Structures are given as C-alpha cells and as structure tokens.
Structure 1
Amino acid sequence: MRGVLVRASAAPFVVVGGLAAGAAAAALGQKRAECSASFTTTVYMPTTVYVTASEPPALSNSAPGTSSGVVATSTSTSGDAVPSTPLSATSSSAGPSTGVSPSDSGTASFTVSLSTSTSAVEEPTSTQVPTSEPISSSVTSDIISSSVTSGAPGAPTVKPPGPPSPPPIFRGYKNAIYFTNWGTSGNSSYLPQELPVSELTHILYAFADIDANGTVKSSDAFADVGKRYARDDPLNRTRGHHAYGAVKQLYLYKKRNRNLKTLLSVGGFDYSPKFVPVAADPGRRRTFADSAVRMMADYGFDGIDIDWEYPADADQAQHFVLLLQACREALDKFSFRHRLPYRFLLTVASPAGPVNSHKLDLAGMDPYVDIWNLMAYDYTGSWDNTTGHQSNLYRSPRHPSATKLSTDDAVQYYEGLGIRSSKILIGVPTYGRSFESTSGLGQAYAGVGTEGGGVLLYKTLPRPGARELWDDGAKASWSYNDATRELVSYDTPRSTLYKARYVRRKKLGGAFFWEATGDRAGAASLVSTMSKTLGWLDESPNHLWYPMSQYENIRWGMPGA
C-alpha cells in the first residue's frame, strides 16, 4: 500500500482517491480548475478518483500543522506508534481518523490519501504532489462505500468504510495448525522450519498473555522475536530494531507462500482466567482489542484468534460477545486508518461439548467471527469414569458408553444456531489419551500414567506391544496392549481421511490441528492426509505490508530474504 497525505483547511476541498505513486505526479501536474463541492467520500481504488470544488485551496509543500500542504510523514493515532515513512500516512493531530474535523468557524478540516494495494512488498520512495489538479471523474456506486450525514453547517460527518467483507464465494478448504512458542525450546523442540507449510493455509501462533489492565503481551519474547536461527545475525551486527525468532520465520513463510495466513492466538488454557475481568470492563476490552491488533501488526500476522476456555455463565458469555465486537471494530479501524484494503481475520477456538458450548451465545458471537475452530477433541479423559474415544466423528452403536460425545453432534448444534457451515473448522488432535489397567473401550480404568498426564504425542503411537484397532461406527482409532492393559485413544491417517471426507460432504470450512509438535512426517502425517484428501486448499491471499510495525525487517518486508 502506498499513500501520500493531502490536507486543506478551507470548506471547499479536493478529495483524491487511490493512485500508484509513479502516475500521481503526471495526473496531478496540470492546471487548476474550479467547480462546486457536493459530497465527500472515501474510496479504495486501483485508479484515480477526483472530486473538485470551487475556490480550490492553495496546495503547497508546507509542514504538518499549517493550513495547507503535503504531509510526507506519519503521525500516531489512537496509541499506535506508526513509524515515519514517506508512504505511510495517518490523520494529523488536527482531526480524527475519519479525516473530517469540525472547526469553530463551521468549516471542515480534512485529510485524504492516495493509496494503492500491492501484492508484493516494495521499499517506499518519496512522492511529490503538484499544486494543481484539474480532473473530475465519477465513480460507480458498487465501488464507493460512503455515508454523509447532516451536522453543523460546513462540517459533514463521513462514515469510513470498513475493510472488505469476507468473500461470498468459496475459495478452497482451510487446513490450519496451532504452533506454540514454548514448543521451540527444550530437548524435544519443534522449530518453525519443521512446519509443513505447503500443506497448510493458516498457522495459529500460540499463545499471547494478557495483563490485568487488558493489554495483550508476549508470553515468551525470546521465542517470539529474540531467538536466532540459521542465516540470522548471531552477533547482532545488523543495525536497527529487528524481529527474529518464530515471528521472522513465519513472515518468511508468508512471503514465499502467498496463500499462507498467520494469526496471533491469545489465551489458551493457562491464560483463560484472565479473560474474565478484562472482558467484563469496557475500558479493558478496548485495551485488549487495540493491543492485540498492535501486536498482530508488529508481528506481521493476518489476524487474531481468541481462545477463552471457557465462559462459565450467561454474564461471561455476553462479555465474550462484547470482547469480540471490540476486536472486530479494532481490526476494521486499523485497516481503514492505514488504508489497507484487507480484512484481517478474527477467529475463535470454540468448545464442542455441550457443557461449555451451551453456555455461550454462539449466535451473538457469530457476526464478528470469521472462522470457528471447533475443538473436536478431549471428549474423554482422566475426568471420566470409563475409557472412551477422545475425538470420534460419530457416536458408536457398538460402544455407546465410549462415545458420549461426537464431532457430528457438535457440528449439527452450531449449524442449528444459524452458523454457516463454511465458517466451521473441525479440530483434529495430534496426541492421544491413555487409560491404564482397563479391559477395553467403555470400561473402568485405574490411572492414566505419569507420562504427560496421560497425554501422548501421536508420533510416539502406537506404543511398543500395542495393537492398533478401528471402530467403524465411530470412525475412530485406538490401540490396546494386552500385556500392560493400556488403552490409548488417538487419530490416525485412517480416521483423518474420514474426517476430511466429512468436511467435504458437510461443506465445512476445513480442519485444524492441535498442535504441530505431535504430528509425523511423510505418508503417516495427519496434516498431509487432511490436505491431500481435501484437495482444494484456500487460495485467498495473505498480507505482507506492515509499515507500522515496530520491527524494521517486518516493516520493510524482509528485503533480500
């Protein structure tokens, strides 16, 4: 996105829409013309749009803060620290981010920008705007999104358009995965370079923490932006403030795979209690939303994922709706303020079981949510009295006590509330749950083992001596060891194949995996099985232009990388 800011203080005015920087000088370097002002509008256009006025204000290359001039630097708005770059501009201190500010004399002071989207990151260059502009052009109503209401004389109020709405047409299935910052360290670390990005459409980076005042913050700054990988600068000889760690690696993946989106996931099980007081307070909700968007932009991500496990009552459910509303508004305001014709995503990790899902106002949340990550796992575990499948697709007629819940039940519940099926992703675990001293499915057990609290990574299964079994009614796998009497419930390529077919048959949005560490490589990979069976993966583009990031290498698009 390129932009040049034009500001004038007289009531008659000129509004200039999107134009590539190279064509701006030629189009504007002509004789001044006079006509009558009729309306104001804001447009995102790949071509030039002019609306001219009588007694046009004198435009000159004067400094910010004067009555007229060209502003070639950025100023921060609403707490955003926007770096000074020639091609990024926000509204000046004389007016709000809408670009219109009433004055005491009844005249309007306003700011507008020349902007154009670009699919590749380019280094900014300086642009001069000539002092005259003679052209008048009309714009069709299907491109303009504007609203003008009456107010004080000479002070119209302009309603800014939001970013593009979600695409009304299907653009391919989503195959997403959670990738954790804590998983990048330790003896069994899983590095960003191991992610199967060619099989993925979305990477959800987990988890960001939450301060008591609502500020979203890093839970591990070293893993996020500090850790050095191969080809990074180990001696810190590069000048400036740069992001390294997982954030840099994820941005590089996006740059090389233009359909890959990354999201900042906030909360998770450990940090979820912090949502309760923050979501209940309007001020802290705004702080949460604004800081989450700020962190998303600093990291060069494509959206925000909220993982609150779980609202406990109707009041907390309503606060969750208001928190999502604040986040959606903050994302849309961010796009508008920085002239970005891109819809940043807002997703939710949502429960599949009725104990938690029935407490939520899912219908009230849905207008703000782009993707529902349905956590279709943990249907059974150490909290139950009997063994069972932990992520079965259907209830099993043969083993009803082992399938008290099912993914199909959860999907039907969400769809029954009016949630569009194409917004739902079903979760697939890359781990299994262990039950010891049991005689089989739906039977009593004694303990889950000391290893991982009964949670075992899929890539370690089946355990030595165990037989891998299949429940055709539930479309679920498990293993059993006759000698040790241990049962483990987990997904396999076979169960994942059925889940992918279910996604296609039900016209769901796709699937996601919790989490990257547990999967295998090669033909036994659950992620790869899902990707190949779905076939058509999401083709919507990601976003690479973050001139407001605090990190210089993100801000400049990783030049040379």
Structure 2
Amino acid sequence: MLSLLVYAPLLLVAPAAAAPSLLQKDDVQSGPGGGACVVATITVTETVWTDPTPAPTVAGAGPEVSPLVFTDKYSPAVATQPALGNPASPDTYSAPAPAPEQPQQQYTAPAAAPSPSVASSGPAAGPDVAEPEGIDTTDHFKGSYTNALYFTNWGIYGADYQPQQLPVSEITRVLYAFADIGSDGEVKSSDAWSDYQKHYPTDSWNDQGNNAYGCVKQLFLLKKQNRHLKVLLSIGGWTYSPKFPPIAATEAGRQKFASSAVKLVQDWGFDGIDIDWEYPSNPTEAQNFVLLLQACRAALDAYAAQHAPGYHFQITVASPAGAQHYNAMDLSGMDRYVDAWHLMAYDYAGGWDTTSGHQANIYANGANPASTKFSTEQAVRDYISHGISPSKIVLGMPLYGRSFESTGGLGQPYSGTGGNPQAGGQGVWLYRDLPRPGAKVVYDDVAKASYSYDENTKELISFDTVDSAVAKAGYLVSRGLGGAVFWEASGDKKGSESLVGTLADRMGRLDSAMNLLSYPASQYDNIRKGMPS
C-alpha cells in the first residue's frame, strides 16, 4: 500500500513588474505598519517521518497548487476500483462573541428549484431496524464555533493515519476527501478499498449481508460515539476539479451530481457534502456553480423530508483566498445554498514565487512587503463586502509548511524548495516534522505568522506554530468568524503542540448540534441498522 502525495504548485509566475495573481492568492494590501519580529530559538531532535516502503514514481502526475488535492495511490490487489491520483507568549484579543453560523435552520428551496428524487438502492427499513432517533433541532451552534478537519482517504497508506486517530473531542466536523466525479456527473468513490472495503482488526469477516467497512464504517462508529461530530463528503479537489465545468454546464449533469452525492450521503451515513471546485474561471461557470449548489440543496432537502424530517444536511464549499478566483465567482448567489465557506487561507507563498514568504499570514507586513504579497484579512474583507456573513466564514489553516532553500531570509530570493517527499512533494513539510533540527523559529508579530530559518543551511520554512494559531483564534473571534478548518489531519502534532487542539481550546465553546444516525435507505445493512454491536 503505497502513496505519493502530490502537492507541488502549478508553476505560474507573473512577470516581475506585474501585480501578484497566482492561483489561490489575494491582492496585495497595505499592512498595519512595520514591526520587529520576535525570535525564539528552539532546540529539537530529529523527527523526520519515514516510510519504510519507497513511494513509486507516478507517470503523468501533474503539478498542483493547493494542498486540497488528491494522492496518486496504489491500492492492494483486493481493491475493485483503481485508486485515482490527486492532496508561549501568545497574542490575546478581547472581542465580542461572534454572530454564529446557523447550520440547523431548514432551507426551503424556491418553487423553481429542481427537486430530484433520490434513488434508494437499499431495502426499506424492516422490523430489524430500530425506530429512528428523534432529531434534536435545538440550535446548539448558537454562540459556538466550528473546528473542522479534512481527513483523506489516502492517508491510511503512507501516512498510516486511520480514522480512529481523529481527535474527535476537539473537532466538530470531519471533511472526508475526496470523492471523484464521472463524465456524466456521477459522484463516486475514488478508492473503494479505503472507503468501504478495508477490514480493520475489529471488523469481522463473518458478517452476514451487504456491509460497509473501511473508513466509512469507522467514521460512522465515531459519529455514534460522539454525537456532536458531523461527517461531510468532500467532492473534487485540485486534480478532479477539471471535471466540474462540463457536468455543471447542463441540467442533466447537475441533477446527476446532486442525486449521486445524496446517494453516497445516505449509503455512507454522512451529514452533508463539501464541494471543492478549483476554480470557476468565467461568468458562465460561476452561474453554473450556483445552479449546481441549488440542485444539491434541493436533493438534500428532498431526502431529508422523506427519511430525516427536521434534519438539515450541510453544504460547505472549499473557497479560495485569492481575489482573482473569488472575484470570478458569484459569492452572493452561492451563499443562498451554502452553510459554511471553508476559506483556504494558505499557500500565499511557495515554489512558484521569486522570493520566500509567509504562506498563511493574517496581515500584510509593510516593512517587508515581499514576504506578504497576500493576506487573510483582505480575503475576509472582500467576502464580507460580497454579502457573506462573517459567521459563515471558517478560517482555513495548514498543518504543513512551505520551504525555500538557499535564501537570505524572509522576502528574499531563493534557489530550490527542498521538502520531505513523504509529506507531499517538493517544498512541503508536515507540521509534525517541524521545525527542522538546527532551525530557529521566528514569529512575525505584524503579519501574525511564523517561520523557521537555519543560518547554516539557509533553509526557510513557513508554517503555523502554536503562537500563530493562537493569533488566528483571536483573529477569528474578533472578526466574528464561524471557526477554523484544517488541511489535513495527518500533519498535526499531539498534546500541547497540536494546532487543532489549540484552536479548540482558544475558541472555547464548540458546535454541539447532534449528527444523524438514522439512514433507513442505505444500501449497507450495518449502516441501515445503525451499526449494532
């Protein structure tokens, strides 16, 4: 079971004199002014993650830009479907409580909205099925926050990160990435073995009937044990995104997408969908994205009316932080159907640039503009100006770093990106492997961002630390944002250095709205029966 994570950026370098416009980047803005960097020297031991099995070279693996990408995987022989390629003195804030997101409100589709019927391949609930649990419609989210975490179906291979390792007490939403899209619009599994075939040690080989195993079963068990935990199916990602435009362009394609997405939600026992289309590029595609979301909302509501009255299945969107991308989208039109915007506030700098820089800074640093060509604050301002409620914006944070070699420092030219091949390709290091031995960690108190620098090797790595995570927690609270979302689970550390845990602690009250456990139309016997012991 081998994996090769593909996270390398799409190498689009603008001319030196041109304003930055690199894929998922936002416009340059003036920062809050100059300021000194706080330097902390940290002594670490070697913590490089190694995989005893070398990853294969994947023919045709193309360049990527966003960490929201797939992996080129090699599944074991039992797989029936080929796995396709795809990815200590903190600042404090005193701020009013945010205006919360309202995920439990029931959306009512307009009369003109399509209401496709949802096919049910599973048998109707029979006498062996317990009565569906009553739906708790109390708005537990009011005054509380989302702490969401992407979990990848390829992470079970090279990273050896299994669903059972998810920090369920610290998160409210799991985004299971990624589902594939067929040429007709069908949303489908991208890795059958990982998704629903793999037997874990606790799984019996003697079960009767048609049952789901793999990550799907384990995620359902986590939902059953942690009723606040919602699981959403993330569809698309960088590698599969080229499949969106043709299927979203037709009514038939949109209806197929919506009905098949809901089919997976009902079969796998999920609580909604997350759409990661990177990115609509013209007004026609922007309008088609709105229509696609409308179809999905109608299909989810139709399913809920029939099988889960009173329950609201969520729709979230992995949304860009680059102005050239979000300005090409109909944000206000989409917002009618979107419960949360997962703002991908990272990859502001990387191997596609001519200078090193912060990859996930909150603000621009006017004293070193080359280091902060883009910022989260500008993206948040722009989303709000398009009518998006701050409480629906969920701040994306990276659990990885972007590296620059042979550089004199932040905002300086570099030569090469290095990185740990096991972490996702050129120029990428998992947060859990940082800082590198001999490196000094620097916190930029103006940009609210961290990086490490090795004076001997001249390697600089931009990554979030506990200090920058604390600053981001304060920022999202002060801005009234809806919470945080992380890419991706296998990169985090444990204990006091966990960024996911840091946000959970700093945000305080987390969303406790109950998930759904009743899926009477699932084709899988164990999910339809509620995963009996």
Q: Report the TM-score, using the length of structure 2 for normalisation.
A: 0.75
The question of whether the paired residues in 1 share the 8 Å contact of 2:120 and 2:523 is answered with no
Q: Which amino acid aligns with 2:451?
A: W
2:452 aligned partner: 479
Matched with 1:185 is 157
Q: Partners of 2:438 and 2:381 in 1: how far apart?
A: 38
Sort the Cα spacing of 1:314 and 1:167 in 2 relative to 1 into closer, same or farther, 3 A. Answer: farther
Aligned to 2:221: 252
Q: Distance in 1 between matches of 2:390 and 2:127?
A: 40
CA drift of 1:340 comes to 2.5
Q: In structure 2, what is the equivalent of residue 199 of structure 1? A: 170
- Secondary structure at 1:453's aligned position in 2? coil
The 8 Å contact of residues 118 and 302 in structure 2, kept in 1 or not, is answered as no
User: Pairwise mapping of residues 291-440 of structure 1 onto structure 2 (< 5 A)?
Assistant: 291-440=260-409
Report the Cα distance in structure 2 between the residues aligned to 1:388 and 1:432, rounded to whole angstroms. 11
Alignment of 1:151-170 (within 5 A): 170=142
Q: Distance in 2 between matches of 1:341 and 1:468?
A: 50
Q: Which residue of 2 aligns with 1:146?
A: none
Q: Is the 8 A contact 2:435 2:441 kept in 1?
A: yes
Give 1:374's aligned amino acid.
Answer: L
| CA shift for structure 1 position 344 | 0.2
What CA distance in whole angstroms lies between the structure 1 residues aligned with 2:496 and 2:124?
Answer: 49
Q: Aligned-pair distance for 1:88? A: 12
Is residue 290 from structure 1 mapped to residue 259 from structure 2 by the alignment? yes
Q: 2:481, 2:318 → 1: CA distance? A: 16
Q: CA RMSD in A?
A: 2.0
Say which SS state the counterpart of residue 336 (structure 2) adopts: helix
Pick closer, same or farther for the CA change 1:494–1:286 going to 2, 3 Å. same
Unaligned runs of 5+ residues in structure 1 are 1-75, 90-114, 121-163
1:246 aligned counterpart, secondary structure: helix
Q: Distance in 2 between matches of 1:531 and 1:116?
A: 31
Q: Against the structure 1 CA distance between its residues 87 and 351, is the aligned structure 2 distance closer, same or farther, given a 3 Å change threshold?
A: farther
Which residue matches 1:84? 124
Match of 2:476 in 1: 503
Q: Give the Cα–Cα distance (whole angstroms) in 2 for the partners of residues 527 and 169 of structure 1.
A: 19
Return the offset for 1:504: 1.2
Distance 1:321 1:88, change over 3 A: farther
Please show how residues 480-559 of structure 1 align to structure 2 within 5 Å: 480-559=453-532
Q: Is the 8 A contact 2:452 2:461 kept in 1?
A: yes
- Structure 2: which amino acid aligns with 1:212? S
Provide, for residues 335-394 of structure 1, a one-character-per-residue CA deviation record: whole Å limited to 9, x for no partner: 112252200000000001112111111011000000100000001111111111000011
2:444, 2:297 → 1: CA distance? Answer: 42
**1:167, distance to aligned residue in structure 2 (A):** 5.2
AA aligned to 2:151 is F
Counterpart residue number, 1:209: 180
- Using a 3 Å threshold, how does the CA distance of structure 1 residues 507 and 206 change in structure 2: closer, same or farther? same
**From 196, 199, 205, the counterpart of 1:225:** 196
The structure that has the greater radius of gyration is 1
Structure 2: runs of 5 or more not aligned: 1-115
Shift of 1:119: 5.4
| Cα shift at 1:80 | 2.4
Contact residue 266 and residue 304 of structure 1 kept, 8 A:
yes
Flag the structure with more relative contact order, 1 or 2, with Cα contacts below 8 A and sequence separation at least 6.
2
Preserved CA contact (<8 Å) 2:141 2:512: no
Instruction: Tell me the residue number matched to 1:126.
Output: none
What SS is found at the alignment partner of 2:318? strand
Contact 1:500–1:534 (CA under 8 A) maintained in structure 2:
yes
Q: Distance in 2 between matches of 1:77 and 1:293?
A: 10
2:379 alignment partner, SS class: helix
Q: Larger deviation: 321-330 or 332-341? A: 332-341
Once residues 290 and 149 of structure 2 are traced to their aligned partners in structure 1, the CA distance between those partners, rounded to angstroms, is: 25
- Contact kept, 8 Å, 1:174 with 1:201, in 2: the verdict is yes
Q: 1-side partners of 2:118 and 2:450: how far apart?
A: 52
Per-residue deviation at 1:78? 4.7
Superposition deviation, residue 193 in structure 1: 1.2
SS in 2 for 1:306: strand
2 CA distance for matches of 1:343 and 1:87?
Answer: 26
User: For residue 173 of structure 1, what is the aligned residue in structure 2?
Assistant: 145
Shift of 1:230: 2.5
Q: Which runs of 4+ in 1 moved over 3 A?
A: 86-89, 166-169
Give the counterpart of 1:118 among 102, 127, 134: 134
Percent sequence identity over matched residues? 54
Partner of 1:456: 429
Q: Which amino acid aligns with 2:166?
A: L
Cα contact 1:88–1:338 (8 A) shared by 2: no
Q: Which stretch of the first structure deviates more once superposed, 392-401 or 456-465?
A: 392-401
